[in-house]
Amino acid sequence: MRKIIVIAMFAGVSLLSVMAQEASFSEVNGKVEYQTGSDTWKPARPGDKVGKGVVISTGFKSTAVLMIGKSSISIKPLTRMTLEDIVKTEGGTQSQLFLLAGRVKADIPPQPGQTTEFKVKSPTATASVRGTGFEFDGVNLIVEHGTVQLMTATGQTRMVGAGEFSYVARGGVVAPPSAVVVASGLDSVVELVVQSVAESLSTVTVVTPPPVQQTSVVTIGIQ
């Protein structure tokens, strides 16, 4: 009986240590809206706080920056995403987004003594990040700082470091990362792919399939 009580106490403490957290808009440019539950769409304003389950949508030439603790998520134009989970534990924070369309850029600074886990899921990909900065559209990945592990549904993994670009080619194969200038992010992804192919060590010209949307799942995790 005493054993059961001890276990119940530990469980209670664990539950208490998991608390819901809110995200807030720090920047809003153009038409940015969010929807909570079945409510109608509301225009987002800097300082607005949103929680679990909220759907965020950006319009043409519209962007927003969402802060979760010290982590920031830049939401690019024509993006629709759901804030699936935000929890704060004793060890750090865990956040999960569902990216239905568009592109996000995440900056997850490492916190001393804390772990910040951040996941971006989409119909084609899942990205999980801890202590890094990267831009990801489900197929193409560019890393600004830190090191990211890119993993496809087949389980193939490659480490992509700071200042490197990689993508998932046809057949679920991760292209070897190439050194690139990260300033423009994924805005000119075609040039990045061309540059990546040019940097490949192959001595003959090969027809390299362009990066296309995969039905497989891509997971990105930090090492």
Tokens of 28: 């809003």
| Total of chain residues touching another protein, rule CB under 8 A | 34
Q: What is the Cα–Cα distance from 49 to 167, expressed in whole angstroms?
A: 34
5 binds another protein (CB under 8 A): no
* Residue 65 CA from chain centroid, whole number: 13
- Say whether residue 219 binds another protein (CB under 8 A): no
Residue 144 touching another protein (CB under 8 A)? no
Count CA within 13 A, CB hemisphere, residue 121: 9
Based on the shown chain and the rule CB under 8 A, indicate whether residue 199 belongs to the binding site for another protein. Answer: yes
Return the number of the residue (63 or 156) whose C-beta is nearest another protein.
156
**Six-digit token pair at 180?**
């690139």
C-alpha count within 13 angstroms, C-beta hemisphere, residue 160: 35
Q: Would you count residue 159 as binding another protein (CB under 8 A)?
A: yes
3 state SS of 181: coil
Stretch that binds another protein, among 61-69, 77-85, 129-137, 154-162 (CB under 8 A): 154-162
**Please, are residues 56 and 33 in contact by the beta-carbon 8 Å criterion?**
yes
Least separation in angstroms between residue 15's CB and another protein is 34
Residue 16 interacts with another protein (CB under 8 A): yes or no: no
Choosing from 27, 216, 219, 221, the residue that interacts with another protein (CB under 8 A) is 216
Q: Token pair of 65, please?
A: 């920056």
Which of these segments, 35-43, 102-110, 113-121, 150-158, binds another protein (CB under 8 A)? 150-158
**In whole angstroms, what is the distance from residue 153 CA to residue 156 CA?**
7
196 binds another protein (CB under 8 A): no
Bridging pattern class, strands 140-145 and 133-136: antiparallel
Minimum distance of another protein from residue 136's CB (angstroms) = 19
221 binds another protein (CB under 8 A): no
CA angle 39, 43, 44 (to 5 degrees): 110
- Binding-site ranges for another protein (CB under 8 A): 152-159, 161-164, 170-174, 176-181, 195, 198-199, 201-204, 206-207, 215-216
